[in-house]
Amino acid sequence: MPGGRLTHDERRSIAAWLAEGSGYAEIARRLGRPTSTVSREVARNGGPCGYTADRAQRATGARARRRGPAPVPEPAAGPVREFVEGFAALLAGTGLPRMAARVFACLLTADATGLTAAELVRRLRVSPASVSKTIGYLETMELVTREPVPGGRRERYLIGDDAWTRAWRTDTRVHDEVATAARRGAEIMGHGTPAAARLTQMSRFFGQVSAAMNGSGISERATADALTLVAALAHAARPLTVPELAAALDLPVDRVAGAIEAIERRPLIADPFALRRTETGAYALTPLPDRLSAAQQAALDALASEKSPQGLESDR
């Protein structure tokens, strides 16, 4: 078959036709092979005068054994390849780079031993550099692992049974980091600014996604203590230190500290407030900037100005 390995019978024909004085092009035409295939076969096995079929067959077998097992054949065009390309397109639609999606889909459909870089190159018809770069990218996402091929320097790439769990955790960490960064950005932009409102909304969204994916990771007691701390700061209407809060709430200092840590890890506990640490080390609550519009805040400020410090309407 054109493109496959020469058979022993084909090598016998080559030897016979060389003996008759036929040229490479004529032999290739008779075999239905490219001329380059015949010329390489003869050149690497003794040349036109020294070529013999049996010696060429033995030499080819020896070279194959040195190279190791035959490569995994490229899947024929059909349902599998169509699935790989279609599934890769879907993954790319979620934001995964196109090349990473193709490599990942290809590994998904491989057998339990995975694929080498050379096999990925052959199956996807891309450059080795593209495969190498993409494997590195997928490893950072903890979607792909590598294992050495016994007795050689090559490596095989595969998708482990725990890939989904590790990818899930990686995604959750990223969501946590985005939520924290957005919350810090809101503080920098300043309470009441449109930018702070947008960043706070973003922080809340990614915090909810992270909590839904990974669970809160916070005990029920720590959550209850955190809610009590929020109520205490709202009631006091002024910053309080950890010892002050512990004394007022009749709680150990470590439980108050645990409540603060719980809010810092999951700011949604304090919603619609944000917990803020002052320069003196005390803690206070500030309303989240996206909960009230500018008009609502102005109306509430006007109402507050009409009240006495004790919260009663002024008769003056």
- What is the pLDDT at residue 65? 62
| Highest mean pLDDT out of 185-199, 202-216, 276-290 | 276-290
How confident is the model over 137-155, as a mean pLDDT? 84
Contact 200, 288 (CB under 8 A): yes
Token code pair at residue 128: 């080795």
pLDDT in tens, 59-88: 877 776 665 554 555 554 578 788 888 888
- What is the pLDDT at residue 62? 77
- Residue 168 pLDDT greater than 80, yes or no: no
**What 3-state DSSP class applies to 155?**
strand
Q: For residue 144, how many other CB atoms are within 10 A of its CB?
A: 22
How confident is the model over 307-312, as a mean pLDDT? 48
- Nearest Cα neighbor of 248 from 259, 265, 235, 261 is 235
Token code pair at residue 115: 């694929």
How confident is the model over 93-111, as a mean pLDDT? 87
- What is the pLDDT at residue 66? 60
pLDDT in tens, 236-256: 999 999 999 999 999 999 999
Handedness of CA 133, 135, 136, 141 (dihedral sign): positive
Contact 227, 268 (CB under 8 A): no
Token code pair at residue 285: 């609550």
Residues in the chain: 316
Given the structure tokens 């519009």, which residue do they identify?
A: 293
**What 3-state DSSP class applies to 238?**
coil
Q: Is residue 291 packed enough to be buried (19+ CB in 10 Å), middle (13-18) or exposed (0-12)?
A: middle
Tell me the backbone φ, ψ of residue 180, rounded to 5 degrees: -65, -45
Q: Is residue 167 packed enough to be buried (19+ CB in 10 Å), middle (13-18) or exposed (0-12)?
A: middle
Handedness of CA 166, 167, 171, 177 (dihedral sign): positive
- Residue 257 pLDDT greater than 90, yes or no: yes
Residue type, 231: A
Q: For residue 176, how many other CB atoms are within 10 A of its CB?
A: 19
- What is the pLDDT at residue 230? 94
- What is the pLDDT at residue 217? 62
Residue type, 5: R
49 pLDDT band, cuts 50/70/90, is: confident
Distance between CA atoms of 53 and 244, rounded to whole angstroms? 96
